Chains A and B, each alone.
Chain A
């Protein structure tokens, strides 16, 4: 078991024939992901990486039965691509693109919600169910199959955490990189219940960072609803206020959104919070023993 995606998930790629889309679609296919086609307006009817190219998402869905779209279009076209996917009845859009304007995402997300389409990202590494299905840009080999669910705002910290989990002798069910932009799709609060319901997942690692209050919402949710052990790390304890730390959403505004307040909220919810990201694996091993 896993959450959201597995070996049977049919995936199309929006921005299929572009440089990034091509490179990563190929990597995903090599991992075992069922990429069943792609969309590049104007290139419909062609074949790319052995799969059909369509002019529209609607045609791609009708012809392939895909339920997930991996989006690689340039930032200026992201909202259009997301809305097209929602309009075509896609169930989950994984938005890899970095740099989409916040206003665009505000409209795109609102429309996706209206159309009952889930989104992941933007500006994220994607989602991977270990040894079954990789939809994104993460190095697949790190994610050995196991019993730990992973939710992270950061790409490389996802890899770092997964690597530590594996080194401790455990593995991953599904890892979701949710992205660090001000407006994102699925977040902790939506993903935690999925991991709670997944019988294969025995523990959850969540990686947060400064800015916004998604981790605070997660803490409140965990306190009420999550029975599985959770290990958390919040990046940016040493970040200065008012500075954007790489991710568009990683900024302490005034005195709100600090790592310290998030860590305190999670601790109060019974989460095992580590101060150093080097201790994620060790902390997980400890909670798994209990």
Chain B
């Protein structure tokens, strides 16, 4: 789960990670009020969406008067902001963050994430603030300094010194930086974050460090114990069909092909997409129906897949283990009674009681249900059906 910049900064403030003052607003009028309340003569108007690259897409603007604050807020609110992370359709901006200006002396990058190979968090810093860290990693990897933080020791001053000296900070600045980085590590650990990115981290004219931007992602498995984070979930930033699927214990991701897939198990679901691709088709979705594959979940799966008008055929690929294929076959037949399935459905059931399942499907005599013998056969038939063959 991800949150907005302004929400991440709320968490930062509680842990004394320095940020600028700001207000979240939904209308140009509120934007002006927020600017007046903040005072000063320079403000930043920032679109709040769950994607990076907002500045380049025109979603972050510097205002030098409240008139400008108003016009910029009016321009950004309601726009479809396109960045390298949103896809070509962009994302609707529904709120903007009005922040006070800062005296920026230098920009850095600071990030925290899990290193899966080391099995511990790593903190990364770079002097190349404001640039996409993937590009820095690709073009000038020597400009990224990394420290692994053993969870058993936690963040120590030496971690901070290694980063600070690596960034070429003045000796007089090092303690301030360590305090910043140490507080950030606590934000990360205490909230079960899987990622924090501050890009840029800025050094001000008076030698202070500030999180000018803030991006945070969290471990979904830990949300049950993170009440505050859970409340920050913004459903409008997520795919409605994915949210609906989630309610029924289905894991669904929309893709842009025309062969719908319904599979038990995440690995086999990905493998099924790959097989469709290999056979010359394009998968319309990823869908893991989980272990049970009951009539209700299968029916819901059909509903969700068919919400996508591109879908021309559905490939149901179930490897029955503990769940028996005959029960799944009955589930599929039931499901076609619960919901209207108007495209060819290619069904491959293998594993426990596969032979009985094939009989059940055959005897049901449903015109648009086609049985397949194995994975390749099923994928081929589904690809052909989607092409209208």
> A139 interface residue, CB < 8 Å from B?
yes
Nearest chain A residue, comparing its CB with the CB of B113: A253
B114 CB contacts on chain A under 8 angstroms? 102, 106, 182-183
Nearest chain B residue, comparing its CB with the CB of A78: B221
The interface stretch among B64-72, B200-208, B263-271, B334-342 is B263-271
B278 CB contacts on chain A under 8 angstroms? 275-276, 278
> A254 interface residue, CB < 8 Å from B?
yes
> B224 interface residue, CB < 8 Å from A?
yes
Nearest chain B residue, comparing its CB with the CB of A109: B119
The interface stretch among B75-83, B89-97, B374-382 is B374-382
Alpha-carbon separation in the docked complex, A242 to B151 (Å)? 26
A213 touching B219, Cβ below 8 Å: no
A100 CB contacts on chain B under 8 angstroms? 221
B192 touching A101, Cβ below 8 Å: yes
Shortest Cβ distance from residue A267 to the other chain B in the assembled complex, whole angstroms: 16
A103 CB contact (under 8 Å) in B222, B263, B319:
B222
A235 CB contacts on chain B under 8 angstroms? 267-268, 270-271, 274
Alpha-carbon separation in the docked complex, A137 to B277 (Å)? 30
A233 touching B134, Cβ below 8 Å: no
> B152 interface residue, CB < 8 Å from A?
yes
Query: Using a Cβ–Cβ cut-off of 8 Å, how many residues does chain B contribute to the interface with A?
Result: 53
> B116 interface residue, CB < 8 Å from A?
yes
A157 touching B267, Cβ below 8 Å: yes
Alpha-carbon separation in the docked complex, A235 to B351 (Å)? 20
Nearest chain A residue, comparing its CB with the CB of B135: A254
Alpha-carbon separation in the docked complex, A107 to B119 (Å)? 9
> B322 interface residue, CB < 8 Å from A?
yes
B225 touching A236, Cβ below 8 Å: no
A101 touching B222, Cβ below 8 Å: yes
B267 CB contacts on chain A under 8 angstroms? 152-158, 180, 207, 209, 235, 246-247
A240 touching B255, Cβ below 8 Å: yes
B189 CB contacts on chain A under 8 angstroms? 103
B375 touching A160, Cβ below 8 Å: yes
B250-265 CB mask vs A (1 if < 8 Å, else 0) is: 0101010000000111
> A18 interface residue, CB < 8 Å from B?
no
Shortest Cβ distance from residue A146 to the other chain B in the assembled complex, whole angstroms: 18
Nearest chain A residue, comparing its CB with the CB of B276: A238
> A217 interface residue, CB < 8 Å from B?
yes
A255 CB contacts on chain B under 8 angstroms? 134
> A65 interface residue, CB < 8 Å from B?
no
Nearest chain B residue, comparing its CB with the CB of A125: B321
A156 CB contact (under 8 Å) in B192, B194, B265, B273:
B265
Query: Using a Cβ–Cβ cut-off of 8 Å, how many residues does chain A contribute to the interface with B?
Result: 62
> B177 interface residue, CB < 8 Å from A?
no
Shortest Cβ distance from residue A29 to the other chain B in the assembled complex, whole angstroms: 15
> B220 interface residue, CB < 8 Å from A?
yes
A213 touching B270, Cβ below 8 Å: no
Question: Which residues of chain B in 272-309 are interfacial with respect to chain A, using CB atoms and an 8 Å cutoff?
Answer: 273-279, 282-283, 286, 288
Nearest chain A residue, comparing its CB with the CB of B242: A243
Tell me the number of A-to-B contacts counted with CB atoms below 8 Å. 173
- If the complex has contacts A76-B224, A102-B194, A102-B219, are A139 and B322 also in contact, measured as CB distance less than 8 A? yes
B251 CB contact (under 8 Å) in A102, A104, A246:
A246
> B107 interface residue, CB < 8 Å from A?
no
> B326 interface residue, CB < 8 Å from A?
no
Alpha-carbon separation in the docked complex, A137 to B322 (Å)? 8
B319 touching A163, Cβ below 8 Å: yes
> A138 interface residue, CB < 8 Å from B?
yes
A249 CB contacts on chain B under 8 angstroms? 116
Nearest chain A residue, comparing its CB with the CB of B323: A139
Shortest Cβ distance from residue B114 to the other chain A in the assembled complex, whole angstroms: 6
B263 CB contacts on chain A under 8 angstroms? 156
> B5 interface residue, CB < 8 Å from A?
no
B271 touching A102, Cβ below 8 Å: no
Shortest Cβ distance from residue B124 to the other chain A in the assembled complex, whole angstroms: 13
Alpha-carbon separation in the docked complex, A276 to B219 (Å)? 31
B277 CB contacts on chain A under 8 angstroms? 237-238
Shortest Cβ distance from residue B139 to the other chain A in the assembled complex, whole angstroms: 13
Shortest Cβ distance from residue A275 to the other chain B in the assembled complex, whole angstroms: 5
B219 touching A180, Cβ below 8 Å: no
Nearest chain A residue, comparing its CB with the CB of B51: A242
B283 CB contacts on chain A under 8 angstroms? 238
A278 CB contact (under 8 Å) in B150, B192, B375:
B375
Nearest chain B residue, comparing its CB with the CB of A177: B267
Known: A238-B255, A238-B276, A246-B286. 5 other contacts (CB 8 A): A102-B194, A160-B268, A247-B267, A248-B219, A278-B375
What 7 A-B pairs are tightest by C-beta distance, nearest first? A154-B267, A246-B266, A156-B265, A139-B321, A278-B376, A101-B222, A156-B268
User: Which residues of B pack against A, CB within 8 Å?
Assistant: 85, 114, 116-117, 119-120, 134, 150-152, 189, 192, 194, 219-222, 224-225, 251, 253, 255, 263-271, 273-279, 282-283, 286, 288, 319-322, 350-352, 374-376, 379
Could you pull out 11 A-B pairs where Cβ atoms are within 8 angstroms? A76-B224, A103-B189, A106-B120, A110-B119, A155-B321, A156-B263, A157-B265, A160-B271, A183-B119, A237-B273, A246-B267
